[in-house]
Chain A
Amino acid sequence: MALWRQLTRGLHALTHRDAADRDVADEVEHYLEQATAEHLARGLAPADARRAARLEIGNPASLREEVRSSGWEHTIETLLTDLRYAARRLRRSPGFACVAIVTLGLGIGASTSVFSAANPILFERLPYPQAQRIVTIWEERKDGGRLASTFGAYRAMVERCQAFEALAVMRAWQPTIVGGTQPERVDGQRVSATYFRALGVSPTLGRDLLDAEDVLNGPRVAIVSDGLWRRRFGADPSILGRQITLDDVSYTIVGVMPPRFENVLTPAAEVWAPLQYDRALPPQGREWGHHLRIVGRLRQDASLEQARGELDQLLRDMATIYGTALADYGVPAGFVVTSLQHDITGAVRPAFLAVLGAVGLLLAIACVNVTNLLLGRGAQRRGEFAMRAALGAGRGRLIRQLLTESVLLALLGGGLGLLAATVGVRALVALSPPELPRANAIELDTTVFAFALGVSMLIGIAVGLIPGLHASRTDLHSGMHPGSRHTASHQFTRRLLVVAEVALALVLLVSAGLLLRSLQRLISISPGFDPSHLLTMQVQTSRRFDPSTTHNFYERALDAVRDVPGVETAAFSSQLPLSGDLDEYGVHFEPEPGGPPEGGYSTFRYAVTPGYLGTMGIPLLKGRMLDERDGSGAPISVLISQSLATRKFGSVDPIGKRLYVGRQGQPWYTIVGVVGDVKQASLAASESDAVYIPTVQWYSVDNVLSLVVRTRGDAGTMAPAIRNAIWSVDKDQPVVRIAMMDELLAATAAERRFAMILFEVFALVALVLAATGIYGVLAGSVAERTREIGIRAALGASRHNILGLVVGQGMALTAIGIVIGLAGAAVASGGLETLLFSVSRIDPITYAGVIAMLLMVSAIACWIPARRAACVDPSITLRAE
């Protein structure tokens, strides 16, 4: 109630200022009158009585002011006055205002864009209830590598671990929806019935999966995403119970997920069906294949430590629980439990942290620059401040006025920055590495607005404080005297700021340089094949095809593709380098007679049609290529990579040696050739042990193969013709993942490229800002020292001397900044370490190049004011006094 009265009275006073003022004036006047009357009554003469009353009360004007300024509304009034004044001042110097606003806008826009992209990855919780309790569990290999888990391990966890409220298991699934005009391949997941419970979400329409449905040969049910529901079913509310044909099997739709459901584990997933693995865990079954991801929701009262402890215990018990089944596949060396948040964002975290740091530096430079501008302007406005101080403005009042001006500048800059961020965020997402986690959560939401506003306010205060303190320290006398030269202190501050700017710019430039050189090194690595004019796509076959139908289809498809004009050669492979495929098998070599049995070598297995190596341009180093002789009935032939040959045989000729790949009990394969190493996982990866086997000789059938086509002309334009050639054989087989090989190559460096491009842009802006900072300080200093320079010239200093004087001053600042920046860069580059590739963080070439560039740019920035100084005509300057 009292608060309400405060508010309404204050508002009333604000909106009816004249009436409120009259009230105060009347009350004060009445007070004075009463006091006078009292003195009169004591017998003083009217004039004396009035004087005595005045003496008692003081100046009525300041009394009125005191009463008037006591309410809260007065603060707002002052603020409005200050704002009006600040706006007027900015309008009067539009050049300054524009430069300052654009500089701040750049800084705020860049940092807001980066923040909005980094927020869901680095800071925000996942969009699930109590998301901090959701964890993922991986298996750990003996060499420390991470490995997907098995259904067997999952069942053991479900039965023995108490720390979890729900444990779920899933694998990616890419079924093809048949029916309708064209077969459409969608992303999906096969999940245990607990999956959505573990995440803490449930369908909006229909029901969740049931435990009873997640059993071997259980009912075929599916849940679809909101997007799929709208796209394929026209958002039909009666969808429940309808059938959907996935991979030639009919599923009953039992649920639709909410539109805002963000499935961070497989963001593109649109359909979910129960996993339906065999809980009896047959030893040779898929139940022991390492291809499942496990998520769990910890109990309210359970800690991560407790979960780790239980899993460690489980690990010790595994061998006794499952014994023989595990012997073939090896007990994992350990289980790794991490929070889901960390699991999905961990990979891009270093890049985003680095970029966030970079944009912070950029923002700092922008602030320093604007502080410098404000200081320079403060120097020009000293007369004004002195006048205001003389009229009674306190120091606090002056600082407040200046802070209002700088905050107004920063807010205008912030507005501009937000506008820039709307574009910037989109550019950032476009630039970002593919499969950026939580990409669909990146938007300019209220958090981002709050961030921009907060940053703007902070910057407004930060950039206004130093100039405010300086200006308010103005000595009245010298301030009002136009010719005074008491400028030493603000010049000193401005120089400090320039040094800071150069140092910050150096840190950014060095970081950008290191990233650039890493990327150069990475790109100069040969992938082991010729990526130009190479078109790739994935061709899938129906799971209902028997092996001969599948082989037959691929053979006819290949013939059709080879007939397309412009195609030079074409071939199929079970996995494609640099595409994300990672198909590893154990290779067992035939032991030397009498020697010990050979352990398994983990290698990449390529099931290929004979022309694959030729089409890819992978060189043959020894022996012969695979060819038509290696048919389905013939003895099995295999090619091995050079790295595997060296690792196993050293200098011994491997041709004719024998091995087998994968499961036991197969005939020996004979090595017929050695081929060059290929980068499979990424350009930066070192493992390249590989085996190549003809598809028709492989013991099982790959029903997903990648087509590689070497074309004569532009490969990109040929994709539709080639796809239609495949569909001319059978139009129901999906053709997906169409990509140019050089795109795939570029994508493997995407994360580094992303960081590098941003650093490059920020560093360039920083360089420009630092240069304008140096220029501004020197220009200001030359303008203030015109008289001194005139005297020097009059006393015989040559143009050369004066040029040297000014340039020397600027270069000295640059040199100090460089020294400080070097220390900063040495520290900051530590944060970049994971993004660097075969470049030391103290790479001397980068540092030398950056220093040379900074010196050159600052020399240019010094030259212009120096020339102006050299042109000072002593006769004019001295007469001007």
Chain B
Amino acid sequence: MDRADSPDKPSTDVIQGTLDMLILKTLSLEPMHGFGIARRVEQVSRGVFKVNPGSLLTALQRLERAGWLSAEWQQTANSRRAKIYTLTRAGRKQLEIETSEWTRRASAIARLLKAET
């Protein structure tokens, strides 16, 4: 199942607990379907993170139930249905909270690591 863009640097799973933030961030740019979100995360992270489809789809369901995303079924060209997710106002607020929380933690870790060396 491992999908690596380059054989020397295998991509890793998204850091525990950050998937929600990444989804919210991705959707803050434009509404998207599940696969689009996965690809966008992988591309923007330049292949460092890979998104497990199972985790992604359950996270989308969870975020939608939390009211941070709204979902809409759209008819695709070949008569299939695609579920398009849009960030809601609550979701935008949540993204801000999670971003600032993440920044706080990341900078703390960065400081710690700097102090160590």
Contacts and interface: CB of A to CB of B under 8 A. Distances in A.
Interface of A: 1-2, 5-6, 9-10, 23-24, 26-31, 33-35, 38, 55-58, 62-63, 66-67, 70-71
A31 B66 contact: no
A253 to B, nearest CB: 64
Contacts of A26: 73, 80-81, 83
A63 B83 contact: no
B35 A23 contact: no
**Interface of chain A, helix or strand or loop or mixed?**
helix
A67 B57 contact: yes
A58 to B, nearest CB: 6
Given A58-B1, A58-B53, A30 B66 contact: no
A51 to B, nearest CB: 13
A30 B3 contact: no
Given A67-B61, A70-B61, A30 B35 contact: yes
B58 A70 contact: yes
B67 interface: yes
Given A23-B83, A34-B36, A2 B66 contact: yes
Contact of A30 (B39, B58, B62, B81): B81
B27 to A, nearest CB: 16
B83 A30 contact: yes
A423 B62 CA distance: 50
A10 B83 CA distance: 18
B92 interface: no
A18 to B, nearest CB: 15
B33 interface: yes
A30 B33 contact: yes
A61 to B, nearest CB: 12
A31 B1 CA distance: 16
Interface string B33-61: 11110110000000000000110011001
A6 B64 CA distance: 9
Contacts of B35: 30-31, 34-35
Counting from the closest, the 5 A-B pairs by CB-CB distance are A34-B35, A70-B58, A66-B54, A67-B57, A31-B35
B57 A27 contact: yes
Nearest to A69: B58
Contacts of A55: 1
Contacts, number: 70
26 contacts: A2-B66, A10-B65, A23-B83, A24-B57, A26-B73, A26-B81, A27-B57, A28-B57, A31-B33, A31-B34, A31-B35, A31-B38, A31-B57, A33-B80, A34-B33, A38-B39, A56-B1, A62-B54, A63-B57, A67-B54, A67-B58, A67-B61, A70-B61, A70-B62, A71-B61, A71-B65
Contacts of A58: 1, 53-54
Given A58-B1, A70-B61, A31 B53 contact: yes
A43 to B, nearest CB: 16
Contacts of B80: 26, 29-30, 33
Nearest to A70: B58
Contacts of A67: 54, 57-58, 61
B31 to A, nearest CB: 15
B117 interface: no
A89 to B, nearest CB: 32
Contacts of A10: 65
A63 B54 contact: yes
A35 B83 CA distance: 15
Nearest to A38: B39
Contacts of A2: 65-67
Nearest to B78: A33
Nearest to A37: B35
Nearest to A67: B57
Given A23-B83, A30-B35, A34-B36, A56 B65 contact: no
A413 B78 CA distance: 58
Contacts of B61: 67, 70-71
Contacts of B62: 70
A1 B67 contact: yes
B34 A30 contact: yes
B82 interface: yes
Given A26-B83, A30-B83, A70-B61, A5 B53 contact: no
A846 B36 CA distance: 82
Contacts of A70: 58, 61-62
Given A23-B83, A26-B81, A34-B33, A5 B66 contact: yes
